[in-house]
A and B are shown apart, each in its own frame.
Chain A
Amino acid sequence: MKQKILHIDMDAFFARVEKVDRPELRGKAVVVGGQSERGVVSTACYRARQHGVHSAMPMAQARKLCPEATFLPVRGERYKEISRTIQKIMRSYTPLVEPVSLDEAYLDVTGVLHSDNSAYEIARQIKQEIKKQTRLTCSIGIGPNKMIAKLASEDCKPDGLQEIKEEEKDNFMIHLPLDAIPGIGEKTGRELERIGINSIKELREAESNFLYRELGTRGIILQKRGLGEDSTPVKANEETKSISNEETYPEDLEDRKIIKKFLFRLMEKVGRRLRDKKLEAKTVEVKVRRGDFTTLTRSYTGRRHTDVTERLWAAVVALFEEIKIDARGVRLLGVGVSNLRPAASQEELFEASDEQRKARLNELMDNLNEEYGDQTIVRGGTIIGQD
């Protein structure tokens, strides 16, 4: 049987959950997002979207665009609960479910098909079951690989169901805009335009040598995507791929020293979660969103894995050194780790003394904080307002 992948994407998930829970909101515009002065939109329902509201937009701007909307805070726990129900439905059809986020997942149904048309039938049943149990709608795309499935679901939103078969994919692809292809955003779009590629058709027909010369391996990968090829498998295990934490501040931060302290506090939280999950990381990422919403991320991949906060912190400091802080200030900071593996708790020969002492200190501090509550014991650097 040919491979069949489903991409299931809930329609305006957070906003719809709110409407289900509060029937009086039905037929009205609903925007879910941060409630502080500086919060951003998490989800806008389709009605609010008609007014130009979209996710990641500052709430203040959304209020201007759509003053009649009801603005609600994010109720993470409630969405997680519903997400679990939905995932349970999906898993009753195939064990190969890869959740991408609370409201999005890939399913590989290849192994459970009876005929070439049964993927469509399964998708129809899943839609129906989700509707029945949660009263929410979703859009499902079916394709011979993950990318086509996702493009198909985006193409039929909301409440849609569309299958693109292997033999239909060429025709489907060439009618999509160039930036529908994952990896082609504004910047890459401009680069492609510069070398004379303005459509998926032109990307498909370009000489691969030419693309390689101009864009390196990235060019080859983009062309493969343009041809509708994608060989990434649906990964069912829910292994943690990254751990991160970010904070939006009530006022823009300008003082590097203070920013560093906030970064350290985020690092400590991330370090603790890392050790909690008995993992070690190799890559550290720092995210800075400026007052004007330009966001930059810098990451560093070390030579070896570690779960020691001090070692991860050293990377954060080095990354932060490269980030200029100017009059725009900083509204959001984030610290994340990825490239994870189970903590081997293998001791090292050459940094033995120092590294291991720190690992023990981390362990001790985690235990104290566990027992007596957060911030019982903190590193000197995180006490805000003190040098």
Chain B
Amino acid sequence: MKFSATRAILEEALTTISGAVTSSSSLPVLEHVLIEVDGNNLILKATDLELSLETEGKISGESDGSCSVPARKFQNLVQSLPSAETELSLELTDDEQVKMTVDEINSEFLLPVLPSDEFPGLPEPESQNLELNFKLSCDKLIDMLRNTQFAASTDATRGYLGGVLFDLGEKELTVVATDSHRLALHKLEYSEKAPAKGSILVPVGAIKELVKILPEEGEVKVVSDGNLTEFIFDGSRLVSRLINEEFPDYHRVIPDDYENRTTIDCRRMLDAVKRVSLVADEKTRRLILDFSAGELTVKAENTEEGQGEEKLSIDGNANLKIAFNGDYLAEVLKHISDNQIHLDLISADSPGTFRPMEAEDYLYIVMPMRLT
């Protein structure tokens, strides 16, 4: 195996697959990246057995072959090269090492390798049994995922709460995430023909990685056989195991009515929530929203951290006091790009629903905290 490439090409490819590199593992080969050279094609692969990533790049190949090198070390070396255009060449030596030569700076490095057959093959959904198979523009998917994934639980032991649901129905695609205290949902009209429609639950870790590496342009193909899901885009693919649990019936918790609709300036409310949260109880994060006569008071009660309140003017006639976890409020307000947001309330012990004024296809439901 021998090839040469610019720092830019290698750096991009290594960054793409780095999310699937295990940092410490009982299987040393999982800390490695598999390098394959096929003509003028470079293929990099990494897997932590739950999540696998593969990407391609254009290089000038001299001889085909493959080997695996310690991923972080290799990535750090490549990133340390003087400029994006710096050329380097990589060669597998006879004594089972990889030699990296950079003529521009007269340097030569040797890295230990593991034989490529020790590297586990990347899994793939079974193509005969696809339960889901559709395409979507990358920018739309990025948008939907950014707006929902933060509501999932990051606690991996919590099963379905640590996943993002893709639900492709007859006419629409719905992406939903919840940690059982709040739920974010983004809908998209989808009337195109898809070879297979259904729903899958993808671990939030894989979704975060996907959002990082999806390009802004082009299409992404999503397929799943019920055990694995694969996202294919622009010369790369991400494969993840699915969460094998039933997602709760989210339709059931979407309030179909409200007593009070309040319209609030998003930015203004985010600032107030962030400021007052600084003195909220460190553990419960509880804030009280007190609506009266066209005014909203965001309050943190007297705690060891102090107390505080901030008043803002709003549109609406709500006359109600309700408590929420301030972090849950800040997170949704950060993700809404509209200027104005509706907050629909029923009572102090019913969920609050946030809907961006201009975007009917998005909603965020958050359960209150007890007031006493």
* Residues on A facing B (Cβ under 8 Å): 303-304, 341-342, 344-350, 352, 356, 359
Question: B residues within 8 A CB of A356?
Answer: 349
B residues apposed to A, CB below 8 Å: 157-159, 178, 180-183, 248, 253, 283-284, 286, 325, 349, 351, 365, 367-370
A301 to B, closest residue via Cβ: B157
7 CB-based A-B contacts, threshold 8 Å: A303-B157, A344-B369, A346-B367, A347-B369, A349-B180, A349-B182, A359-B370
B349 to chain A: which residues have CB within 8 Å?
347, 356
Let me know if B283 and A347 touch, CB within 8 A.
no
Q: Which residues of B contact A348 (CB under 8 A)?
A: 180-181, 367
| Contact, CB under 8 Å: A344 / B283 | yes
Docked-complex contact A349 and B158, CB < 8 angstroms: no
A350's partner among B248, B283, B368, B369 (CB-CB below 8 A) is B248
16 more CB-based (< 8 A) A-B contacts, given A344-B286, A349-B178, A349-B182: A303-B157, A303-B158, A304-B158, A341-B283, A344-B283, A344-B284, A344-B369, A345-B369, A346-B181, A347-B349, A347-B351, A347-B369, A348-B180, A349-B180, A349-B181, A349-B351
Give min CB distance, A14 to chain B, whole Å.
Answer: 36
Please tell me if the beta carbons of B367 and A349 are within 8 angstroms of each other in the complex. yes
Contact check: which of A303, A347, A359 meets B368 at CB < 8 Å? Answer: A347
Q: Which residues of B contact A341 (CB under 8 A)?
A: 283
B367 contacts A352, CB within 8 Å? yes
In the complex, the chain B residue whose C-beta lies closest to that of A348 is B180
Report yes or no: B284 in contact with A347, Cβ–Cβ below 8 A.
no
Consensus secondary structure, chain A interface: mixed
Q: How far is the CA of A345 from the CA of B285 in the complex (A)?
A: 11
Instruction: Find out whether the CB atom of B253 lies under 8 angstroms from the CB atom of A349.
Output: yes
Q: Please give, as numbers and ranges, the residues of chain B lying within 8 Å of A342 by CB-CB distance.
A: 283-284
Q: Are A347 and B159 in contact (CB under 8 A)?
A: no
Inter-subunit contact A304/B367 (CB<8 Å):
no
| CB–CB A349/B283 < 8 A | no
B351: nearest residue on chain A (CB-CB)? A349
Please indicate the chain A residues that have their CB under 8 angstroms from the CB of B369 in the complex: 344-347
Chain A min CB distance to B170 (Å) = 25
- Give me the 6 closest cross-chain CB pairs, A-B, nearest first: A345-B370, A347-B367, A342-B283, A350-B248, A344-B284, A345-B369
Q: How far is B370's CA from A359's CA once the two chains are assembled, in angstroms? A: 10
Contacts of B178 in A (CB 8 A): 349
Q: How far is the CA of A346 from the CA of B365 in the complex (A)?
A: 14
Whose C-beta in chain A lies nearest to the C-beta of B178? A349
A345's closest neighbor in chain B, by CB?
B370
B351 neighbours in A (Cβ, 8 Å) = 347, 349
Taken together as a complex, chains A and B put the C-alpha atoms of A345 and B367 apart, in Å, by 11
Give which listed residue, B183, B284, B325, contacts A349 with CB less than 8 A: B183
Judge whether A349 and B370 touch: CB under 8 Å.
no
In the complex, what residues of B have CB within 8 A of residue A347's CB?
181, 349, 351, 367-370
- Complex-state Cα separation, A102 to B157, whole angstroms: 36
Find chain B residues with CB under 8 A from A304 CB: 158, 180
Name which residue of chain B comes closest to A341, CB basis. Answer: B283
Docked complex Cα distance between A348 and B182 (Å): 8
Would you call A352 and B253 a contact (CB within 8 A)? yes
Q: Which residues of B contact A344 (CB under 8 A)?
A: 283-284, 286, 325, 369
Within the complex, what minimum Cβ distance (angstroms) separates A307 from chain B? 11
Contact of A345 among B159, B180, B182, B284 (CB under 8 A): B284
B24 CB to nearest A CB, Å: 15
A92 to chain B, nearest CB (A): 24
A346 and B325 within 8 A (CB): yes
**Bound form: Cα–Cα A356–B367 in Å:** 12
- Asked if A349 meets B365 with Cβ closer than 8 Å, knowing A341-B283, A342-B283, A342-B284, the reply is yes
List chain A residues, Cβ under 8 A from B248.
Answer: 350
Alpha-carbon distance A336/B183, docked complex (angstroms): 33
- In the complex the two chains form, what is the Cα distance from A350 to B181 in whole Å? 8
* Shortest Cβ distance from B252 into A: residue: A350
Bound-state CA distance A341–B349 (Å) is 22
**Chain B residues with Cβ under 8 A from A303's Cβ?**
157-159
User: Nearest-CB distance from B184 to chain A (Å)?
Assistant: 12
CB distance from B155 to the nearest CB of A (A): 9
Q: Which of B283, B284, B325, B368 gathers most chain A CB within 10 Å?
A: B284
Q: Closest CB-CB distance, A219 to chain B, in whole Å?
A: 15
> Nearest residue in A to B365 (C-beta to C-beta)?
A349
> What is the minimal beta-carbon distance from A370 to any residue of chain B, in angstroms?
14
Contact between A350 and B325, CB atoms less than 8 A apart? no
Docked CA distance A345–B369 (Å):
5
Provide the bound-state CA to CA distance between A304 and B365, in Å: 20
Instruction: Give the complex CA separation of A303 and B158 in angstroms.
Output: 7
Smallest beta-carbon distance B187→chain A, Å: 18
Q: How far is the CA of A348 from the CA of B181 in the complex (A)?
A: 5
Most chain B CB inside 10 Å of its own CB: which residue of A346, A348, A352, A359:
A346
A304, B161: Cα distance in complex, Å: 11
Minimum Cβ distance to chain B for residue A356 (Å): 7
Given A303-B159, A304-B180, A350-B253 contact (CB < 8 Å): yes
Closest to A359 in B: B370
Residues of B within 8 A of A350 (CB): 180, 248, 253
